[in-house]
């Protein structure tokens, strides 16, 4: 596919990915005029598969509080023929996950270094 000028071409891009063995996105948003296509996927493996399939060079991760729940949003983007395509994964993370990032892993440190 060389161009995403029509809705049919944008949906064909997704159909090609599913035909290649990728899981279908659980949510798909196509903006009017076919200049923005957004896919939402269910887990990290699907996110990695879609971003690899589409060749998304730009990655961003955002962690935020959503009414007492901590969420991580991972977004991969690519622009194909003027159409910005993003693959998004939103995961709930707990404070335990965040605490593990802040605490040094003492099991990997030699006893004399402790």
Q: What is the reported pLDDT for 2?
A: 42
Q: Which two tokens stand for residue 90?
A: 């939103």
Cβ contacts of 58 within 8 Å, gap of 6 or more: 76, 77, 78
pTM for the full model? 0.74
Q: What is the reported pLDDT for 106?
A: 44
- Give 20-53 pLDDT, tens digit per residue: 999 999 998 988 777 889 999 999 999 999 999 9
Q: What angle do CA 14, 83, 63 make, to 5 degrees?
A: 80
Q: What is the reported pLDDT for 98?
A: 62
Run means of pLDDT, 10 residues per run, the chain, 114 residues? 66 92 92 85 94 91 84 91 90 73 50 46
Q: 50: closest CA among 81, 79, 83, 88?
A: 88
Helix (H) or strand (E) holding 49: helix 44-54
């Amino acid at each position: 596919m060389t161009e995403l000028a029509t809705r049919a071409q944008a949906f064909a891009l997704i159909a090609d990915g599913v035909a290649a063995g990728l899981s279908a996105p659980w949510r798909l948003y196509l903006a009017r005029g076919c200049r923005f296509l957004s896919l939402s996927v269910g887990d990290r493996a699907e996110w990695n598969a879609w971003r690899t399939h589409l060749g998304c060079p730009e990655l961003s991760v955002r962690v935020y509080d959503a009414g007492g729940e901590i969420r991580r949003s991972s977004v991969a983007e690519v622009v194909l023929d003027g159409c910005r395509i993003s693959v998004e994964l939103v995961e709930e993370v707990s404070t335990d996950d965040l605490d593990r990032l802040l605490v040094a892993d003492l099991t990997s440190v030699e006893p004399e270094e402790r």
